[in-house]
């Protein structure tokens, strides 16, 4: 085991001034010490992060998680303690940070690479990949100020991931671009994991952490609460929220964390492996999309190594990171008995109510006790086209009925004030 990042007793201390004087004039007019409050954003945080692991940093707002990430990145210097990093590093705290609007995309790629500490030669080698990844071939010589925000962010992400750092630090910036680009970003993150790079991600989303992280670090009040497997750490985080009498606002990241912090069991040993997953429509033509309202079939290849009785499949359809629905064979059809050997399973939906957009599909398989045997997230992506006029997320057919009333639709008292 190699340690990629060693955090050694890191503390970070901020001074919060009641009245901040940022000019010489004000400083001369107000001689003497300026009163301030001490604020410890980090207190004696120590942890070792193994090379090749993906680590999540979880915490509520103000817990110090972003400060910790900035200390790892070297943007903030710890007040005491130190961070030792092995290998090249790229931090994505803000995509396209350091882009100069006046310069062309090309110049900005080189400048950004240079800011991240990569030489011109290295950037020459990666330039084409970066441009291809960002899908900006046609616009690369245009000034960045004429880019749309999507193009801007795509270029920023493309630079950060294509310089192939040993350590990648990410601060909740993955939710960028359209769905297809988001998927591409996630794919790149998975590839990074497969290549044995170290990833540290700060996120509000425990779900995302559970899917991608090997270990989660929980921060609260500037202290490290726990570091451990995602399931345990997320539970510790939820317990912490309850212990401290913290009442999360509905819809807040903390509330979501508390709600989703269900049991997670180890995924191994793998009795079942999910292979390729495909979405199909019934028509004979080869159009590459689904039409709203038609039947949909999800076909998955399975490799079963041990017999599983009463297995349950769960199909989740998402748009971006928003779950649209989860369909569980356990609820609908009862368990399936799986015999060893390669096989194919099909799930059929009689009518797909989705309107326009690209969607991703997750598939997991559990045993009768609910233990996850394998999961593919995402398993595949598909597009839906809506021939009708309805807009939004789902197609809810609506009927109109008109009835004549005997009396006016408003009361007599209020009547005179109308119009």
Q: Which helix (H) or strand (E) holds 415?
A: helix 412-415
Name the minimum Å distance from CB 399 to another protein: 30
Query: CA 67, CA 12: separation in Å to the nearest integer?
Result: 8
Query: CA 325, CA 359: separation in Å to the nearest integer?
Result: 11
Name the minimum Å distance from CB 120 to another protein: 6
- Residue 165's closest CA among 96, 106, 92? 92
- Residue 5's closest CA among 101, 74, 102? 74
Beta bridge partners of 319: 322
Beta bridge partners of 216: 56, 228
- Residue 296's closest CA among 320, 327, 334? 327
Name the minimum Å distance from CB 255 to another protein: 26
Q: Is the distance from CB of 244 to CB of 270 less than 8 angstroms? A: no
Name the minimum Å distance from CB 257 to another protein: 21
CA 215-217-220 angle, to 5 degrees, is: 160
Between 79 and 252, CB nearer to another protein: 79
Cis peptide upstream of residue 260 (ω within 30 degrees of 0): no
Between 249 and 282, CB nearer to another protein: 282
Name the minimum Å distance from CB 280 to another protein: 5
Between 100 and 331, CB nearer to another protein: 100
Between 151 and 213, CB nearer to another protein: 213
Between 94 and 243, CB nearer to another protein: 94
Between 84 and 247, CB nearer to another protein: 84
User: Helix H segments across 135-269?
Assistant: 149-162, 179-194, 206-212, 230-243, 253-260
Q: Tell me how long the chain is.
A: 419
Query: CA 20, CA 388: separation in Å to the nearest integer?
Result: 59
Name the minimum Å distance from CB 97 to another protein: 4
CA distances from 314 to 35, 257, 326, 377 (A): 58, 21, 7, 11
Name the minimum Å distance from CB 111 to another protein: 5
Between 106 and 226, CB nearer to another protein: 106
Query: CA 53, CA 215: separation in Å to the nearest integer?
Result: 8
Between 98 and 415, CB nearer to another protein: 98
Name the minimum Å distance from CB 230 to another protein: 12
Three-class secondary structure of residue 369 per DSSP: coil
Cis peptide upstream of residue 226 (ω within 30 degrees of 0): no
Between 224 and 258, CB nearer to another protein: 224
Between 151 and 169, CB nearer to another protein: 169
CA–chain centroid gap for 160, Å, is 16
Name the minimum Å distance from CB 288 to another protein: 6
- Residue 384's closest CA among 359, 351, 362? 359
Torsional sign, CA 299, 305, 309, 310: negative
Name the minimum Å distance from CB 116 to another protein: 7
């Amino acid at each position: 085991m190699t340690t990629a990042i060693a955090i050694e007793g890191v503390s970070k201390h901020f001074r919060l001034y009641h009245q901040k004087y940022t000019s010489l004039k004000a400083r001369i007019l107000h001689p003497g010490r300026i009163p301030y409050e001490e604020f410890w954003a980090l207190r004696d945080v120590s942890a070792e992060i193994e090379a090749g692991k993906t680590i999540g940093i979880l915490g509520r707002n103000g817990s110090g998680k972003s400060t910790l990430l900035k200390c790892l990145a070297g943007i903030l210097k710890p007040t005491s303690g130190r961070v030792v990093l092995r290998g090249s590093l790229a931090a994505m705290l803000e995509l396209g940070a350091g882009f100069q609007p006046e310069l062309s995309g090309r110049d900005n790629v080189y400048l950004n690479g240079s800011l991240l500490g990569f030489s011109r030669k290295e950037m020459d080698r990666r330039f084409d990949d970066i441009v291809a990844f960002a899908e900006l071939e046609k616009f690369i010589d245009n000034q960045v100020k004429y880019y749309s925000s999507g193009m801007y962010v795509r270029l920023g992400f493309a630079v950060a991931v294509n310089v192939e750092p040993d350590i990648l630090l990410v601060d909740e910036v993955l939710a960028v671009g359209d769905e297809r680009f988001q998927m591409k970003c996630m794919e790149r993150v998975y590839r990074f994991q497969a290549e044995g790079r170290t990833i540290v991600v700060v996120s509000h989303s425990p779900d995302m952490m559970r899917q991608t992280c090997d270990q989660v670090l929980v921060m609260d009040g500037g202290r490290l609460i726990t570091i451990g497997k995602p399931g345990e750490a997320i539970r510790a985080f939820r317990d912490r929220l309850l212990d401290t009498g913290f009442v999360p606002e509905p819809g807040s990241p903390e509330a979501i964390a508390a709600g989703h912090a269900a049991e997670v069991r180890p995924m191994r040993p793998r009795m079942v492996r999910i292979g390729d997953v495909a979405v199909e429509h019934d028509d004979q033509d080869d159009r590459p999309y689904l039409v709203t309202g038609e039947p949909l079939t999800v076909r998955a290849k399975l490799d079963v190594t041990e017999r599983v009785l009463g297995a349950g499949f769960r199909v989740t359809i998402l748009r971006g990171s928003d779950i649209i629905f989860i369909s569980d064979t356990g609820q609908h059809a009862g368990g399936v008995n799986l015999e060893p050997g390669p096989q194919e399973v099909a799930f059929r939906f009689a009518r797909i109510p989705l309107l326009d957009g690209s969607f991703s599909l997750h598939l997991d398989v559990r045993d009768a006790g609910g233990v996850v045997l394998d999961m593919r997230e995402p398993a595949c992506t598909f597009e839906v086209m809506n021939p009708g006029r309805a807009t939004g997320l789902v197609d809810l057919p609506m009927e109109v009925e008109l009835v004549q009333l005997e009396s006016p639709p408003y009361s007599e008292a209020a009547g005179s004030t109308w119009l």
